[in-house]
Amino acid sequence: MPEPIRFFGTTWVDRTGGYAVRRACLVVGALTATVVGAYALRLAYEGVAISELGAWARFMLILVFAVASSVGFSRTLTRFSRRPGDTPEDEARERSMRSIMLVGFLGILLAYGLRGLVEAPGEKMRRTEYEEALRRHRRRRSSRTGNPAKRKRKR
């Protein structure tokens, strides 16, 4: 059974059931949310500028959002090509990155939008895993000669 992908379910396997429409909506939605988020950040920057905290505060605000967005972008794209490990260290690393990923939401949205132009996010990785599982299943099934319970016993 193929693993479902968020927003696509299992339609990515044979690309039916509105797959193309869902992908187009994902791209448009993610890029629209990126633009709206950038506008919200602009308003936040103007609020800092109006408060006259100083040039260092404006610089730090820009730096924090730029670094967090780039980290969010790169981590999101790598999640589409490989699975994170299931070790406790990897889980702890993911938990520690949550706040940075929250601040870097622009990078995450941009990564979803750009990846959606090519395929459903994570489709290539899951397709490779699914085809490998199908190949192993066919190989196991083809080596069988029949139901062993139905064989006649020698007397």
Token pair of 52, please? 């006259």
- So what's the pLDDT on residue 3? 75
Predicted confidence band of residue 70 (pLDDT cuts 50, 70, 90): very high
DSSP code string of 55-74: HHHHHHHHHHHHHHHHHHHH
Q: Is the pLDDT of residue 19 over 90?
A: no
Domain-embedded: residue 26: yes
Please tell me the total count of domains within the chain: 1
Q: Is residue 153 part of a domain?
A: no
Is the Cβ–Cβ distance between 110 and 34 less than 8 Å? Answer: yes
Confidence (pTM): 0.75
Residue 54 lies in a domain: yes
Report residue 138's pLDDT band, with 50, 70 and 90 as the boundaries. Answer: confident
The whole-chain average pLDDT of the chain stands at 84
Domain hosting 70: range is 19-127
Token digits of residue 44? 């936040």
Buried-state track 4-37, b at ≥16 Cβ within 10 A, e below 16: ebebbeebbbeeeeebeebbeebbeebbebbeeb
The residue among 106 and 83 whose pLDDT is bigger is 106
Spatial separation of the C-alpha atoms in residues 42 and 52, rounded to whole Å = 16
For residue 35, the model assigns a pLDDT of: 95
